[in-house]
Structure 1
Amino acid sequence: MSAYEMVKDQLSKMVPFAIHTGVVIDELSGEGATCHLEQRGEVENHIQSMHAGALFVLGEQASGAAYAGAFVDRMMALRPVAAKAEISYLKIAKGTITAKAKVRDDVDGLKAKLDQDGKVVFAVDVDLFDADELHVASMVVDWHVKSLS
C-alpha cells in the first residue's frame, strides 16, 4: 500500500462529520484530491437539491485531502488547521457532486518555508461539479500548518 493510499484510508476514518455526511475520498495524490457526495434525503435542502452545508463539508474534506497529499511525507510531524473557508454557490447542485481540490502554491516552496519558519499558511482551491460536469460551487480553504518539532 502506498503512502497516499494509507493517508486516504486514515482520512476516510478521521473526520466524524464527513463520515456522517457521506463524503467519500476517491483520489489523493501529491497533485491534489477528489471526493464525492451522493445526494440523498439526509443531505438535501427544502428544494430537493444538495444542502449548502453538505457542499461545504464535501469541499472542506477535499481540501484536507489535498493538503494531506501534498505533505504526505511529513504528516506525522505536522499540525494542520483549516483556519478560513469561503464558498461560492454557483448553481443548484443535484445528484452526485464531485469536489476537485489542489494546493494553490508550489508545494516545494511551501515545504521550504515550513522548514525555515516552522509554520506555513496556504490556500487550497476546490471546485465542485455535478455528474454533467456543471460547475456548482467554488471554495477556497486557508490551511495553517505548524511543525510539531
Structure 2
Amino acid sequence: MGLDFDAVRAGLASAIPFNAHNGLELIEVAPGRGVVVAPDADHGKNHIGSQHAAALFGAGEFASGAAFLGAFGEHLAGLIPLAQSAEIAYRKVANGPITATATLDADVSELLAQVEADGRTRFPVAVVLRDGGGDVVAEMTVRWYVKRAAA
C-alpha cells in the first residue's frame, strides 16, 4: 500500500501554522514534487504593491517541504528532516497569485541508503516560482538535512 498523497496534502496543509497564516495553498504533493500557491492578498504585498520577497520565499520553502514529504513520506517515522539552508534569486516583479513548484531530482533509495550507512544525508530541492502568465519570477534552492531518528 503506497502513500495516500491526498491525505498527506491535507495533513501538511494544516500542520504548519505559519503557512496557513500566510494563506499559502498546498495544491499538490507527489513523489519528489510539491506545488504551492501564494495568494494575491494585501497582507503579502510590498511597498510597490507586488508580492513581498518573504511571501515568495515562504511559498518556495513550503513547496520544497511538500516535495520532500512526497518522496520520503513512507519513511518519515524514522527520519528527522530540516531545511538546512536556502537561496533565492528574484527574476521579475511578482504580481498576482504565484505558483511555486518544487522538484527533488535525487534518487530517494540512494539517499535512504546514505541515511542507513551514515545516519544522515543532505540534498537540494529546486523550486521555480511563476506568475499567472507562466513567467518565472524567482528561482530557489532549498538544501535539506535529513538524519535518522533516535530509536
Cα distance between partner residues in 1 of 2:59 and 2:3: 24
Aligned to 1:55: 56
TM-score, normalisation: structure 1: 0.95
Aligned residue type for 1:89? Y
CA contact (8 A) 1:4 1:72 kept: no
Aligned to 2:86: 85
Cα distance between partner residues in 2 of 1:75 and 1:138: 27
Unpaired stretches in structure 2, ≥5 consecutive residues:
none
CA contact (8 A) 1:3 1:72 kept: no
Aligned to 1:71: 72
Cα distance between partner residues in 2 of 1:122 and 1:2: 22
Deviation sequence 1:91-139 (CA, Å, 0-9, x none)? 0000010011011322221122122222111110000000100000000
Aligned residue type for 1:46? H
Aligned to 2:8: 7
Deviation sequence 1:50-81 (CA, Å, 0-9, x none)? 00000000000000000000101111221111
Between the two proteins, the alignment pairs up a number of residues equal to: 149
Cα distance between partner residues in 2 of 1:75 and 1:145: 10
Unpaired stretches in structure 1, ≥5 consecutive residues:
none
- Residues 1:30 and 2:19 are matched in the alignment: no
- Residues 1:138 and 2:139 are matched in the alignment: yes
Cα distance between partner residues in 1 of 2:135 and 2:49: 17
Seen in structure 2, the aligned counterparts of structure 1 residues 105 and 10 have a Cα distance that, compared at 3 Å, is same
Aligned to 2:126: 125
CA contact (8 A) 1:25 1:36 kept: yes
Cα distance between partner residues in 2 of 1:115 and 1:7: 24
TM-score, normalisation: structure 2: 0.94
Runs of 4+ in 1 over 2 A off after TM superposition: none
